[in-house]
Amino acid sequence: MDTATVDTRPSYLENGHSWQSWLLTKDHKRIAILYLITITLFFFIGGLFALLIRLELMTPAGDMVEAETYNKFFTMHGVAMVFFFLIPSIPAVLGNFLVPVMIGAKDLAFPRINLLSWYILVVGGLFTLGAVVMGGVDTGWTFYTPYSTAASNTHVIMTGLGVFISGFSSILTGLNFIVTIHKMRAPGMTWFRLPLFIWAHYATSIIQILGTPVVAIAVLLVALERTLHIGIFDPNLGGDPVLYQHLFWFYSHPAVYIMVLPGMGVISELIAAFARKAIFGYKFVAFSSLGIALVGFFVWGHHMFVSSQSVYAALIFSFLSYLVAIPSAIKTFNWTATLYKGSISYQSPMIYAFGFLGLFLVGGLTGLFLAALGLDVHVHDTYFVVAHFHYIMVGGSIMAYLGGMHYWWPKISGRMYPEGWAKFAALMVFVGFNLTFFPQFLLGYLGMPRRYHMYPEEWQVLNVLSTAGASILGVGYLIPMVYFTWSFVKGEKAPANPWGATGLEWTIPSPPPTENFTTTPIVTEEAYAYSNREMKVA
Amino acid sequence: MWFKNPFVPEQASEFASSVDTFYFFMVSVSAFFAILVVTLVAVFAIRYRRRHEHEAGTPVHGALALELTWTLIPLGIAMVMFFWGASIFFAMSKPPSNAMEIYVVGKRWMWKFQHMTGQREINELHVPVGQPVKLLVGSEDVIHSVYIPAFRVKMDAVPGRTTTLWFTPTKTGRYHLFCAEYCGQKHSGMRGTVVVLEPAEFQAWLAGGPATGSMADAGQKLFNDLACATCHRDDASGRGPSLKDVFGSTVTLAGGATVTADDAYLRESIVNPQAKIVEGYAPLMPTFQGLVTEEQLNQLIAYIKAQAGGTPGTAAPATGTPAPGAPAASGTQPSTE
């Protein structure tokens, strides 16, 4: 592209070096960097607690820390990872950076709201960190009543406020994306020419807007019940503790899709770019994102099969849970079919995409076990569930996040990273992940309940394997942090399009100038039109 | 099974084998699809690897037939899973009428059991092999969950409600009982043992415990001590309805609605009497919330059930006579173990 070579404007990274130029920026790309730093910090904190959990579980006796301390570890691991890493991760970093660029816009529709949403996340995060520093919270990330309202004497309200506040960040980001995708597409960028990354973020945004207020209300009610004893959840005051679970999971099941749908969008981009081929069944993949977002709102009761919910409600929730599995199957088959007759290269982003396929497959298939009523009774609240959702959220979402970070890193930073190290780290993550979480499926079926500080001795071998895997996984995550940081300063300069990929983001310089495009691009072809052009790397 | 699978817990109830058979089906189907997709990905990735730097893929447009195939076949398989799982769940939610009833109360951080014949146990539950057992589960504080992996059953203990689960033990032995719902500091210490005995041994065990009177006897004493009897008279002449034969009957409420008088109804009528008013009676009864413990509530309900005659699960012979002056119900009584 000619624009890439003659463009002499400063890149967004060069355009101002003062603190204000970062902290008061309205540039979606700089805000993405602010998010990147913030969520990486929370990933570290959440990861540290994960490490402590695994160290404790190396022995069955519960002899490393007190039970109460252990309970705080897993609570803070969950809160940090879910609300302050996974939910913002791909949308707030990659989405923020890429949604305007991919549709040919100069910025998001509401740049100031975009900056505000980052500040809100930071304030929410500070509340939660404050609760950790003051002594922590021990309710589990789920805040189940009446334990959270009537029994726990830890910092429930402060943590809950952190979650409540950060929810607004999520809502505002979703709102911004929806308006931007509707109103700011470049001429010729029709709905069915949008990259699938955009479809995935559109579906995610719908969930963020419709679901997040409900969890905000639920944690607010927990706070009110704790302070004013209003009697919503406490049976001694005429309340119903199971009502809380309905409110919580009405958001928190769809929230799983907030965490994984953007990852699916990333994978579609990676597979198309490294197979140099249009995604097979584009419309099926696009609409399956919307299908997941829609049906995903009606499956929350599958978290409550043994909660004394009615048998008939359980039946309907089980049925709908099987329906919501189908769009994920459709995506997986279409990604596989895309490889057929492709031109496949094994660069590190694609290695992550392969890893995602394998891990998401296991995570998705074991979801079918949990949707089955008679089987869920046995494995509910055991390590089987823990393994399942880590395969989705860590095996799926984080693999996609890392794959995306590697793919767009040259665009974001203007630098290349060491490819050999990247492949090595991807392998470490894949092996470490499986060794950590596969034994947990076995532990779960054997009956080991989750959130256990000590456990019967016969389960030690599998727990030690899991801890060993976690240490490999931890190193696998540290390596990219090191070489990305190194690359940001010293990496080889990246060309505009190092992969020979389609997509508007590869038509502008790396890193892009503040306004992204010199002139508004005019789109004349479908997404992933690989065969229409002569392949030119850089 | 012909060999001991180390990744499956002991099969000690009738549900265990049906759940495991379903589990193996699920594992097989999952393994098939996982291997299918991984093989295809691997074959394509090798067969279509990039050979020149400037090579692009060959365009292949979508194929509706393929899309329909990989939508409808998984949908069909998913429906098989749904119905199979639901059928096991239905069996789990319908206790047989001849099940032996045992009350369970979860309390941070212990399990308390009381047999209809009065024996109490803490963190240990004795049951006879081959006999359907129905647990009536309550909680004194937060949500707990009764989980017996060897039986493949689990049910939450929800404060303010009575939940039920049932099983038929098929093998004598000692099995783990866990609290599966996080309940605070010593959640992982809220463990117990289910001891499955031969019927004769179980009868001997029942006989060996100190006699404290059956649950219904304790409930009757409470019924008098709490002055329930002043209003609820047998001859329907009191200010409240007669409770004789009420259990299991259909009760007509003010306004014409009807309700079956089951465990949940009786519990609600004691702790929240204004919720459902029987037709023809004034809403006079005060709440007993906080005045009776979870276990006393169970005893009152057991007494009301016994008045309906022939309550299932009370068939085991009472051992001895109630000790004179024994406290009606409290956790201070000696347990049988």
User: How confident is the model at residue B255, as a pLDDT?
Assistant: 86
Nearest CA in chain B to A149: B142
What is the end-to-end Cα distance of chain B in Å, rounded?
A: 35
Q: Could you give the CA distance from residue B79 to residue A253 in angstroms, rounded to a whole number?
A: 21
Residue A6 CB neighbour total at 10 angstroms: 9
**Position A121 pLDDT exceeds 50:** yes
Q: Which of B40, B160, B186 is the closest to A235 by Cβ?
A: B160
Q: What is the CATH number of domain B215-307?
A: 1.10.760.10
C-beta atoms of B48 and A280 within 8 A = no
Q: Which of B7, B57, B90 is the closest to A442 by Cβ?
A: B7
Residues of A in contact with B290 (CB under 8 A): 236
User: How confident is the model at residue B48, as a pLDDT?
Assistant: 95
| Confidence bin at A536 (pLDDT 50/70/90) | low
Torsion angle (degrees, nearest 10) of CA A457, A459, A461, A462: -160
Counting one residue from chain A and one from chain B, the pairs whose CB atoms sit within 8 A come to 278
**Position A454 pLDDT exceeds 50:** yes
At B51, give phi and psi (nearest 5°): -105, -30
Owner of token pair 């569930």: A385
Q: Is the ipTM of this complex over 0.90?
A: yes
Residue ranges making up the domain that contains A364: 21-532
Strand partners, B166: B134
- A502, part of any domain: yes
User: Is the distance from CB of A254 to CB of A211 less than 8 angstroms?
Assistant: yes
Q: Could you give the CA distance from residue A492 to residue A495 in angstroms, rounded to a whole number?
A: 9
User: How confident is the model at residue B227, as a pLDDT?
Assistant: 84
Q: Could you give the CA distance from residue A78 to residue A81 in angstroms, rounded to a whole number?
A: 5
User: How confident is the model at residue B333, as a pLDDT?
Assistant: 38
Instruction: Tell me if the bond preceding B96 is cis, omega within 30° of 0.
Output: no
C-beta atoms of B186 and A67 within 8 A = yes
User: Is the distance from CB of B226 to CB of B291 less than 8 angstroms?
Assistant: yes
User: Is the distance from CB of B88 to CB of B75 less than 8 angstroms?
Assistant: no
**For position A297, which CATH number holds?**
1.20.210.10
User: How confident is the model at residue B4, as a pLDDT?
Assistant: 76
pLDDT (tens digit per residue) in A348-401: 999 999 999 999 999 999 999 999 999 999 999 999 999 999 999 999 999 999
What is the end-to-end Cα distance of chain A in Å, rounded?
A: 9
CA atoms within 13 A on the CB side of B123: 8
Residues of A in contact with B181 (CB under 8 A): 144, 381
Q: Could you give the CA distance from residue A371 to residue A9 in angstroms, rounded to a whole number?
A: 54
- A118, part of any domain: yes
pLDDT (tens digit per residue) in A246-301: 999 999 999 999 999 999 999 999 999 999 999 999 999 999 999 999 999 999 99
* Domains: count for chain A: 1
pLDDT (tens digit per residue) in A308-355: 999 999 999 999 999 999 999 999 999 999 999 999 999 999 999 999
* Nearest Cα to Cα of residue B34 among A260, A363, A272: A363
Q: Could you give the CA distance from residue A219 to residue A251 in angstroms, rounded to a whole number?
A: 11
At B50, give phi and psi (nearest 5°): -70, 130
Please write down the HEC assignment for all residues of chain B: CCCCCCCCCCCCEHHHHHHHHHHHHHHHHHHHHHHHHHHHHHHHHHHCECCCCCCCCCCCCCCHHHHHHHHHHHHHHHHHHHHHHHHHHHHHHCCCCCCEEEEEEEECCEEEEEECCCCEEECEEEEECCCCEEEEEEECCCCEEEEEHHHCEEEEECCCCCEEEEECECCCEEEEEEECCCCCCCHHHCEEEEEEECHHHHHHHHHHCCCCCCHHHHHHHHHHHCCHHHHECCCCCCCECCCCCCCCCEEEECCCCEEECCHHHHHHHHHCCCCCCECCCCCCCCCCECCECHHHHHHHHHHHHHHCCCCCCCCCCCCCCCCCCCCCCCCCCCCCC
- A13, part of any domain: no
Domain ranges of chain B: 14-44+64-93, 215-307
Residues of A in contact with B19 (CB under 8 A): 374-375, 377-378
The mean predicted confidence, pLDDT, of chain A is 94
User: Residue A286 contacts by C-beta under 8 Å, 6 or more apart in sequence?
Assistant: A192, A194, A196, A199
Report the percent of chain A where pLDDT is more than 70.
Answer: 97
- A467, part of any domain: yes
Residues of chain B with pLDDT under 50: 1, 311-337
Q: What is the DSSP string of A283-312?
A: HHHHHHHHHHHHHGGG-GGGG-TTTT--HH
User: Residue B151 contacts by C-beta under 8 Å, 6 or more apart in sequence?
Assistant: B12, B13, B15, B16, B167, B169, B175, B194
Residues of A in contact with B34 (CB under 8 A): 361-362, 365
Please write down the HEC assignment for all residues of A332-399: HHHHHHHHCCCCECCCHHHHHHHHHHHHHHHHHHHHHHHHCHHHHHHHCCEHHHHHHHHHHHHHHHHH
- A10, part of any domain: no
Torsion angle (degrees, nearest 10) of CA A481, A482, A485, A490: -150
- CB-based contact (8 Å) between A331 and chain B? no
The SS3 of residue A449 is strand
Q: What average pLDDT does this structure show over A200-219?
A: 95
User: How confident is the model at residue B3, as a pLDDT?
Assistant: 64
User: How confident is the model at residue B28, as a pLDDT?
Assistant: 97
Residue A126 CB neighbour total at 10 angstroms: 13
At A492, give phi and psi (nearest 5°): -60, 140
Q: What average pLDDT does this structure show over A170-193?
A: 97
- A8, part of any domain: no
User: How confident is the model at residue B226, as a pLDDT?
Assistant: 86
| Confidence bin at A6 (pLDDT 50/70/90) | low
For residue A51, count CB atoms less than 10 angstroms from its CB and return exposed for 0-12, middle for 13-18, buried for 19 or more: middle
Q: What is the DSSP string of A475-506?
A: HHHHHHHHHHHHHHHHSPBP-S-TT---SGGG
| CA distances to A193, A277, A506 from A534, in Å | 20, 13, 15
- CB-based contact (8 Å) between A242 and chain B? yes
- A85, part of any domain: yes
| Residue A410: its H or E element | helix A399-413
Give the mutation candidate from A59, A63, A147, A453 for the B interface (greatest B CB count, under 10 A): A147
* Strands of B100-107's sheet in order across: B120-122, B110-115, B100-107, B133-139, B163-167
C-beta atoms of B26 and A369 within 8 A = yes
